Structure 1
Amino acid sequence: MSRRARIGIVGAGYWAAEFYLPFLRDQPDVELVGVVRRGRRELDALRRAFELAVASERVADLLAAGCDGIVVASPNALHREHAEAALRAGAHVLVEKPMTVTLHDARALAAVARDCDRTLTLAHGWNDNPIATWAADVVATGLLGRLASVDLFMASTLTELFAGRSGYGTVEHGGHRFEADPRTWTDPASGGGYLYGQLSHGLALALSLVRSEPEEVFARMVRLPNGADLDVSLSVRFADGVVGSFAGHGRLPWGRRKAMEVRLAGEHGALTIDFERERADVAVAPDRVAVVPGAGTWLPLALDLRPGAGAYDNVGPTRRLIDLCLGRDVRDRAPAELGVRCVAVMEAAAESARSGAPVTVPAREAAHAG
């Protein structure tokens, strides 16, 4: 029998119970080792439901069992602590968004991954969607020429969760019902609110297409009575002169499909991807073609998309972790470097919204000084 990847989960809350645990259990090349979370009753339920060897409140217990890979799905403010422990234990790590809450922690965590020669990858499922991978390939061909601007809009159903009034759906395992804990999502200082909790997805998608460093951010936010941001609008200037507009809100009624749209403009044309309306096309002069670098094959200037092609899932990032654990070649669509740039924008945006002024993103050298 071929070797299976030994994978564990730190932070086995609602999303782990809804997606990660059932998905990993059903993969023939995975051995699901165990979980870490608070609550003996919840741990016992997960142990029964998924026949886990480890179900503990201590991260050290899971790491001591020997894991090739760890999913970090704990509260946002704990991502660095938990991912760093897993990396130092020799595991590849998949971190739920956002990578961290602070830029200092993001840069430090990326450095630990390099020092440990382990891969730290991010759970940005949009980036692995064929619509996004086509857009990345188009940009890589140079078809648009020098990029000038990027605009992102997204919308979600999160008012009740961010207001602290309810969770976000429920799922039952082992006789226990799991639900997102509103306390995890209501404190902006700990990575709660729309900026960190949702716009992080959109930023990761847009910044995977615009590769330059963010230099300055100006932000405005509308907050709920508890202080959590629900409407966010950012203006970003990048190092190569590209300007960006990133906006989103959590006010969609329950049952409505998430909105996610990115538009890129360059010196030779414009590209649009829309996951809600399932559109992917590029407008350029008729004599221009997109040729895949090194392959010599043409890329279509528009995708013929089936219904449902734009729906979000987290399969791509999770399969990437499995393949990394088994030594397979993988293309990382959401690497640690991307996570660092996203956190740089979010931290500056949070500061800008508080101060009412533009905020300069610290350069890499300045971040490591001292």
Structure 2
Amino acid sequence: MTGRVRLGAVGAGWWATSNHFPIFAARDDVELVGVCGIGPELETVREQFGFGMATTDYAELLDQPLDAMVVATPHDLHHPQAVAAIERGLHVLVEKPVTLDAAQGWDLAAKVREHGVHFLAPYGWNYKPFTVAAKRLVEAGHLGEIQHVLCHMASPTRGLFAGDTNHIRALWDSETSGPEPSTWQSPARGGGYAHGQVTHSSALLFWLSGLRAASVMAKVSTGGAAVDLFNAAVVTFDTGAIGALSGAATVPDGDPYQVDIRIFGTEGVLMLDTERERAWLHRYDGTRFDLEVEPGDGAYECIVPPNRFIDLITGASTENNSDVEVAARSVELIDAMLRSAAAGGAEMNVHDEEQAA
């Protein structure tokens, strides 16, 4: 497209104001048309970032002249709000998890295809230079056929899921209030470590590998909280590969995030470790690809995804490392994990065989 991207945003809380809005406001090719939210800080947000209008009515926002929408509301609202935007022909950036159940995730995928819009879920690690380099090696066939995966994530998020959510404001420069406990600490709204954090590691795994989960056996533990703080699962993938997945919310504050992904194939092994900032792919024929990871590059940040969203719309880029397919595969895995845990660890089918991927 030519001209500035006319952007709307639904959700004006902690994460939108600390990450997305400053990025969009700094771009000359973006016009911030309107913002929809609740609470007394909405007008302050409008003024701070230069939105043309502010409203508490999402329908009013959708009636504005828009090209794209950012959906950064509580998890359980993502699906209807994203669908309403897509059906208007708007490109959408939808916060993760993009939905809370598999059917809604694949419904988004179907609607994105139907309307031909760009869809991006802002998974920061999917855009790191070392993960992009690893993806290129996998695409080149250096792993061979994938047989086994390990996908682990742990983070300093006990307060987010089981304490004072405002403590996290110090880590992200937001002038608004901190994360809402009703979002992060309520099972009904998708609170808990699986939806809140395993969404990151699983989306990275699915983008790197191209795998799709077929069945899951899982356990979760709350550690006394209202939502899950710990996750463990055994996964079987459509290809017959198997995997182990784990998550933990109780890394001490100030310690680095742990994202550890290891993929074992018939031709070699890929290892990514954000905590120790190392990445390599070693083949059984002796060929070794030791990838460069700059100091600090393993830490989480989400600068590239919002920028890439705009670049996709303008045509400046064609690479989407966290499209609706990746997002839906993550959602359906977590959905099945939590269903399995609720059934005492029983094996759960992840998707219906007749369901389009």
Normalised-by-shorter TM-score class: over 0.9
Question: What residue is the counterpart of 2:4 in the other structure?
Answer: 4
Give the match for residue 153 of structure 1: 152
Amino acid in structure 2 at the alignment position of 1:350: L
Residue 215 of structure 1 aligns to a residue in which SS? Answer: strand
Separation in structure 2 between the aligned mates of residue 46 and residue 366 of structure 1, nearest angstrom: 41
- The alpha-carbon distance between structure 1 residues 35 and 209, as it changes in their structure 2 partners (threshold 3 A), is same
> How far did residue 124 of structure 1 move?
0.8
Task: Give the superposition deviation at 1:316.
Answer: 2.1
Q: Contact (CA 8 Å) 1:187, 1:193: kept in 2 or not?
A: yes
Who is 1:43 aligned against?
42
**Does the 8 Å CA contact 1:100/1:343 hold for their aligned counterparts?**
yes
Query: Which residue pairs with 2:348 in the alignment?
Result: 359
- TM-fit CA distance, 1:367: 7.8
Structure 1 segment 163-178 matched on structure 2, within 5 A: 163-167=162-166, 168-169=168-169, 177-178=176-177
Q: 2:93 touches 2:119 (CA, 8 Å); kept in 1?
A: yes
How far apart are 1:4 and its partner, in Å? 1.5
Structure 1 position 51, deviation (Å):
2.3
Q: Is the 8 A contact 1:184 1:192 kept in 2?
A: yes
Equivalences for 1:123-202 in 2 at 5 Å? 123-167=122-166, 168-169=168-169, 177-202=176-201
1:331 aligns with 2:330: no
Cα distance 1:219–1:20, how it changes in 2: closer, same or farther (>3 A)? same
Q: Distance in 2 between matches of 1:113 and 1:177?
A: 32
1:149-298 matches, cutoff 5 A: 149-167=148-166, 168-169=168-169, 177-286=176-285, 288=287
What displacement does 1:358 show?
A: 1.1
Asked whether the 8 Å contact 1:83–1:95 carries over to 2, the reply is yes
Secondary structure of 2:300 counterpart: coil
The letter of the residue matching 2:273 is: D
**Residues 268-314 of structure 1: CA deviation (Å, up to 9, x unaligned):** 221111112110111223554xxxxxxxxxxx711232211222222
Q: Which amino acid aligns with 2:26?
A: D
How far residue 43 of structure 1 moved from its aligned partner, in angstroms, is 0.8
Distance 1:241 1:182, change over 3 A: same
- The answer to whether 1:343 aligns with 2:331 is yes
- Quote the RMSD (CA, aligned, Å): 1.9
Shift of 1:226: 4.0
Q: 1:33 to 1:217 in 2, by over 3 A?
A: same
Structure 2 counterpart of 1:321, from 309, 312, 325: 309
Matched to 2:304, the amino acid is: G
CA deviation after TM superposition for structure 1 residue 363, in Å: 2.0
Q: Give the share of equivalent positions with the same residue, in percent.
A: 35
Who is 1:30 aligned against? 30
Contact 2:118/2:313 (<8 A) preserved: no
Q: CA deviation at 1:349?
A: 0.3
* Rounded Cα–Cα distance in structure 1 between residues aligned with 2:286 and 2:148: 23
Q: Give me the whole-angstrom Cα distance separating, in 2, the residues matched to 1:226 and 1:251.
A: 12
Displacement of 1:65 in angstroms is 1.7
Aligned twin of 1:292: none
TM-score (norm 1): 0.90
1:79 aligns with 2:78: yes
**Distance 1:72-1:177 versus aligned 2 partners, 3 A rule:** closer
Relative to structure 1, the CA distance from residue 126 to residue 120 in structure 2 (aligned partners, 3 Å threshold; closer, same or farther) is same
User: Does the aligned pair in 1 maintain the 2:130–2:292 contact within 8 Å?
Assistant: no
SS, match of residue 229 in structure 2 = strand
TM-score normalised to structure 2 length: 0.94
Q: Contact 1:69/1:321 (CA < 8 Å) preserved in 2?
A: no
On the 8 A contact 2:270/2:281 being kept in 1, the answer is: yes
Assess if the C-alpha contact under 8 Å between 2:96 and 2:121 holds in 1: yes
Contact 1:5 1:69 in 2 (8 A): yes
**2: CA distance, partners of 1:238 / 1:51:** 46
Q: Is the 8 A contact 1:155 1:251 kept in 2?
A: yes
Deviation at 1:172, TM superposition (A): 7.5
Query: Match for residue 96 of structure 1?
Result: 95
Unaligned runs of 5+ in 1: 289-299
Give, in whole Å, the separation in 2 of the partners of 1:184 and 1:85. 21
SS of alignment partner, residue 33 of structure 2: strand
Counterpart amino acid of residue 227 in structure 1:
A
Q: Conserved in 2, the CA contact under 8 Å of 1:104 and 1:367?
A: no
The 8 Å contact of residues 54 and 61 in structure 1, kept in 2 or not, is answered as no
With over 3 angstroms needed to count, the CA separation of the structure-2 counterparts of 1:306 and 1:210, relative to structure 1, is: closer
Q: Equivalents in 2 of 1:132, 1:315: separation in Å?
A: 15
Residues 107 and 304 (structure 1), Cα distance of their counterparts in 2 relative to 1, 3 Å cut: closer
Task: Please list, as runs of the form range in 1=range in 2, the aligned pairs for 1:112-123 lying within 5 A after superposition.
Answer: 112-123=111-122
What amino acid maps onto 1:111 in structure 2? A
Q: C-alpha separation between the residues in 2 aligned to 1:80 and 1:126?
A: 23
**Counterpart of 1:294?**
none
CA contact (8 A) 2:260 2:274 kept: yes
**Stretch deviating more after TM superposition (214-223 or 115-124):** 115-124
